[in-house]
Amino acid sequence: MTDTSLHGISRTSADADLLSVLGRRSIVLVGMMGAGKSSVGRRLGTRLGLPFVDADTEIEAAAGMTIPEIFERHGEPAFRSGEARVIERLLDAGPQVLATGGGAFMNASTRAAVRDKAVSLWLKAEFDVLMRRIKRRSDRPMLKTADPAATLQRLMAERDPFYAEADLIVESRDVPHMTVVEEIVSQLQAHLKCGEYKP
Ligand code: S3P
């Protein structure tokens, strides 16, 4: 069955078009901890028939330890350089949906590599939404501070200008994940100019 709601193009052919225009590029999700990069990214991968890769999981596999352990034993700078190396390597394995850790897009070389080899998308969420979600997990080294809410606020202020460099922005909020996924697909189709007449 096809859905002809998208500018008169059947959704299935628009999907095929999206994948063909995307080529070897990855779809890279950036944004704060708690924005839903992994849960939305996994569903986006399934929706588009692309593999989903979580950079944090790959970093842990490469290091043979968890992210909290990397921070504890080697410190944040070591984590950041490992993170940049792993993402650079992963970007050569597209097409895929790649979720990156909240700090990854602060690195200028990572941003340049993403610009070159991917379409980037900022999964943007309000402070309150992030705070509520972040409270569910206690293993994030960046928030192990005396005042996690103030830390989150500071990180958002520092990082938002860099996230804003992403090609696309989609709001992550308390709606079903698939609603956000469909918004991403529509934005990708528009960005990649899918379904346009190409003589
Ligand atoms: C970090 C976010 C984490 C992880 C690490 C550092 C950050 O990933 O990479 O704990 O600096 O924001 P998520 O954004 O997937 O939680």
* Atom nearest to 34 CA in ligand 1: 16
Is the pLDDT at 192 greater than 70? The verdict is: yes
> How many Å apart are CA 194 and CA 189, to the nearest integer?
5
For residues 95-110, average pLDDT: 98
> For position 142, what pLDDT does the model report?
96
Strand pairing class (168-171; 52-54): unpaired
Is the pLDDT at 110 greater than 70? The verdict is: yes
Is the pLDDT at 168 greater than 50? The verdict is: yes
Q: In Å, what is the CA distance from 72 to each residue of 139, 147, 155, 171, 179? A: 12, 19, 20, 33, 38
Supply the residue whose CA is at minimum distance from atom 9 of ligand 1: 101
The pLDDT tens digits for 171-184 are 999 999 999 999 99
Is the pLDDT at 138 greater than 70? The verdict is: yes
Supply the residue whose CA is at minimum distance from atom 16 of ligand 1: 33
* Atom nearest to 139 CA in ligand 1: 10
Whether residue 82 has its Cβ less than 6 Å from ligand 1: no
Phi, psi of 9 (to 5 degrees): -100, 140
Whether residue 103 has its Cβ less than 6 Å from ligand 1: yes
Domains and CATH numbers, the chain: 2-187 (3.40.50.300)
The pLDDT tens digits for 47-70 are 999 999 999 999 999 999 999 999
**Confidence at 199, pLDDT banded by 50, 70, 90:** low
Six-digit token pair at 187?
Answer: 């934005």
Whether residue 41 has its Cβ less than 6 Å from ligand 1: no
pTM, full prediction? 0.93
Supply the residue whose CA is at minimum distance from atom 10 of ligand 1: 140
Whether residue 95 has its Cβ less than 6 Å from ligand 1: no
Query: Cβ of 21: how many Cβ atoms within 10 Å?
Result: 18
